[in-house]
Amino acid sequence: MMGRFFSLGRLLALLKKEVIQMRRDRITFAMMLGIPLIQLMLFGFAINSDPKGLPAALVAPTEDRFTRAIVSALELTGYYRFDYPHASAAEAEALITRGEVSFVVTIPSDFGRRVMRGDKPQILIEADATDPSVASGAISTLGTVAAEALLRETGAEAQAVEAAAAQMQVVVHRRYNPEGITQYNIVPGLLGVILQMTMVMMTAMALTREVERGTMENLLSMPATPVEIMLGKVLPYLGVGAVQVAVVLTASKLIFSVPFMGAMWLLLLGVFIFVSSLVILGYLISTASRTQMQAMQLTFFFFLPSLLLSGFMFPYRGMPGWAQALGEIFPLTHFLRLIRAVMLKGADYAGVAQPMAALTLFVILYAVLALLRFRRTLD
């Protein structure tokens, strides 16, 4: 029965062997299950794209009620934490240079006088903008906060409200994540990143390990076809991927309370196609490298750009056009769109048809390339 190109018996023999080997390699096996959980905990809690409570120094030679009003208003935003409330200008300069504070707030000695005179009072806020994302949130709230505080203090609040009402009103809805919780964005993305890392690397090692240990020569001298060998290598890792997915999804629900808006079956279908593309990509890398070391290097060569350009770490739409185009070649990019749409936005099938199609295309493309690259001889 179709023994020439594909035989279930041969595939089962290959699968059984692979599973036994996987089970005996305790450390790798533990890593495949331990890494996702550890990474999820670590990054899920650690990464914050809207940092608060940043250290600040205050340079205020005269401490009058206006100064106090401004300072308490800034502290109330949650972005500033005045670790050095009585710094001199020189001290503050040293602190920000050393990176011990992210902000230096300077309120000049004539500040109170100018407020009273109705002159244009000025305060200076210096931000350490070496990392723009640290400074951005804190600075953006600044103007209105300081102005309001001052108005309150001078008793001009009532007039201000009137003036504001007369102006145009802008209504902002932060949809899908109204509180701006970073984890809602990071945790589903982490599922993609974790899967990509473990799945591609594990399968990339699979074939090169046979070559390195000398078992490849034997395998090739026996009647197993390329399709059988590929499936035999790839399917067990699909199983490992399924376990990782279960672990991460359960944890994101129970520990991070990430909303789960869309249909489960749609999410799982997307994950399945994504993982398939990853294991076959790993196998493709495996056919292109001679040693496990090379396979590892190739994996990382692929891993880093896909991490940076996929929209996991930095906003996809914020990248220049060519970088967005480059980002399209990574399965992770499409998977992130898919999982964020399904989990956070509750998208239906039509809503994710495009990333779903892209991922399917990757599966087919990688599989064809891998089968073409696979050599049945030792040439």
Partner 1 sequence: MTEAAAIEVHDLVKRFGGRAVVDHVSLTVATGEIAGFLGPNGSGKTTTIRLMCGLLTPDEGAGRVLGHDIRTEGNAIKREVGYMTQRFSFYEDLTIAENLAFVAGLYRLPQSAVADTLADLGLTSRKGQLAGSLSGGWKQRLALAACIMHKPRLLMLDEPTAGVDPKARRDFWDEIHLRAAEGLTVLVSTHYMDEAERCHRINYISYGRLVAQGTVAEVVRDAGLTTVVLEGKGVSRAAESLRGQPGVEQIAPFGNTLHVVGKDGAALRASARKVADDTGVRLSEAETSLEDVFIQLMGEAKDNME
Q: Which is nearer to partner 1, 2 or 350 (CB)?
A: 2
Tell me if 130 sits within 8 A of 144, measured CB to CB.
no
Residue 205 CB, nearest approach to partner 1 (Å): 14
Q: Which is nearer to partner 1, 65 or 376 (CB)?
A: 376
**Across the strands, what pairs with 105?**
58, 125
Residue 24 CB, nearest approach to partner 1 (Å): 5
Residue 213 CB, nearest approach to partner 1 (Å): 7
CA atoms of 250 and 245, how far apart (whole Å): 8
Structure tokens at 246: 């279960």
Show Cβ contacts of residue 323 under 8 Å, excluding neighbours closer than 6 positions: 309
CA atoms of 297 and 126, how far apart (whole Å): 42
Q: Which is nearer to partner 1, 24 or 98 (CB)?
A: 24
Residue 197 CB, nearest approach to partner 1 (Å): 24
Return the SS3 of 110: coil
Q: Which residue is associated with the tokens 């799945």?
A: 199
Q: Which is nearer to partner 1, 52 or 376 (CB)?
A: 376
CA atoms of 186 and 48, how far apart (whole Å): 9
Residue 232 CB, nearest approach to partner 1 (Å): 10
Return the SS3 of 29: helix
Q: Which is nearer to partner 1, 205 or 341 (CB)?
A: 205
Q: Which is nearer to partner 1, 209 or 337 (CB)?
A: 209
Q: Which residues of the shown chain bind partner 1 in the complex (CB under 8 A)? A: 3-4, 7, 9-10, 12-14, 16-17, 20-21, 24-25, 213-218, 220-224, 376-379
DSSP character string of 118-165: T-----EEEE-TTSHHHHHHHHHTHHHHHHHHHHHHHT-HHHHHHHHH
Residue 371 CB, nearest approach to partner 1 (Å): 16
